[in-house]
Chains A and B, each alone.
Chain A
Amino acid sequence: MPPQEAVQVYVELTGFATTASRRELADYVTALEDAGAAGVSVSDHLFGTSDGVPRSESVQPVCEPMTTLAAVAALSDRLGVQTVVANTAWQHPALLLRQFAQLAVLAGGERVTAGLGAGWSTEEFDAIGMGMPPFRPRMDRLEEVLALAGALFVDGSVTVNGIYVSAQDLPLSPRPETRPRILVGGGSDRILRMAGRYADILDLHGDPQHGKVAGATMAQARVGDARRRALTTVEELAERARLVGAAAVEAGRMPEDVAVSTQIIYAAFGDSSRVRQAERELCESWAGIPEQELDRSAYLLFGEPAQMAAALRERQQAYGLSRITIMAESGIELAPPDPLRFCREVVPLL
């Protein structure tokens, strides 16, 4: 009987890569490999902003994802590289998909996860003069993008005439031996259905029953997302994952064809007093909710490394969790997230 594969631990790299020189990135890649990380993950934003401050004063630079992943793929023989997720709204998706194809040539397709998204920040759309379409057309377009990506990577060429995306005899070029995995991120019913139909991996967000994720600014949207994640329990995510499996079956696939990944926003190590302090800070500074126990949140881990390993095994059983991305910034002051420590202490137990 083959043992179940251990949960893969990816580490969020966006903040670090924003200012890292080649040498700094090389050292960090080595440290991640030594610590047992399975890969690195980057998000895709034009910039970051904070609330209540004019953009000219609050803009935070962020890294460009595809260049960053190419560098990591070249510096490491082993680490996987993923976007969670690349914004496909700003260009013809073929241009982005061939960047992933080139990464797959360079690193091997099994190391590359093409996380594809629709964009959600009006500030970014506005900044490049595009204006952000409403939710539904963004989702409709993403569905066309996913269909195109699947056809292109699997069949090697594609002809489609969609409402948003068209291609005529578009060949896959370059042509990697193994195609990249396709990842979709989100928590809405619509995204779950799309993942069931098209994705190899779903990066599962919080349960929509815990409030809206929307707002005029990045900061407002992040508060909604954090609240949702803080309140979403392991049991609730198991329910959400069942919808994905059902959607996969409906599309003629198997439920296990769609792997599940989630972010781990924060792993609070230590004894119960440290853990409770972290919990208080997470309620206040991250989730913006009244103080409460968060130990059933599917996006947090608490306690000793063995308890974290047990919690991940529980999630693996409950909703097929196969990959996590350890975030490197949580907004809490007590102790910043420590992805290297997490890898060193928890990965050997998985």
Chain B
Amino acid sequence: MTTSSSPSESLTDFKDSFAYGSRTDLNFKFLKSLPDQEAAEFFRLLLLKLGAALDDGDFGRLIDHVLEWQARGYAEAKQFAYDDGPFTVLAKPLTAARMALISSSGHFVTGDDPRPLGIADMTQEMAVAKIMEIIKAPPTLSAIPFDTPSQRLRVRHGGYDIRGAQADHNVVLPIDGLRQLRAEGKIGALTDAAYAFMGVCSQIRLLKQSGPQWVALLQEKEVEALLLVPV
């Protein structure tokens, strides 16, 4: 029998360690937002459902469990709230409208690195490690021509698990699907490029500086409809 001389870890320390701590996992950073008792219940039910899946092979219940508890966690997170908001009616059928795409996925084209914090070739690991600096910086919009070959696309984002986006950019940057819908005539026209930025950024700078510039950019391109995809 061995004993550890290290101090015991509290449940609070354990659950918080998934959010930019010693156990960082961007799928489970929401645990930090949950009270200890609820975080404990998340793990208890996860193991219960895993045990059931060992018998019937239905691991889909684990996905549903994660979804349910991610929603609980983000419902507890700090939020912006507004009593009202602008609404623009699409003035013509989409079959005759010009459409754009903006994703907060963090994609960019090889050779056009937005260099967050002025750092070239920042790795995904660095983006996660520097999240507290990135969240105070203004966002940079990257133009991604709709005909960009997938092998020239890169993705980096300190706020979410990018493995799905690396496997298939369309899970969060649906340029292939939009091109197909355009070819089928369901969209009148697309801008030459889709756009992406790293959604983790200064909200004040987004609202006061970058955002208004992006509106002017799309107005100049005579965009009438915009698909937005957060991660």
A interacts with B? no
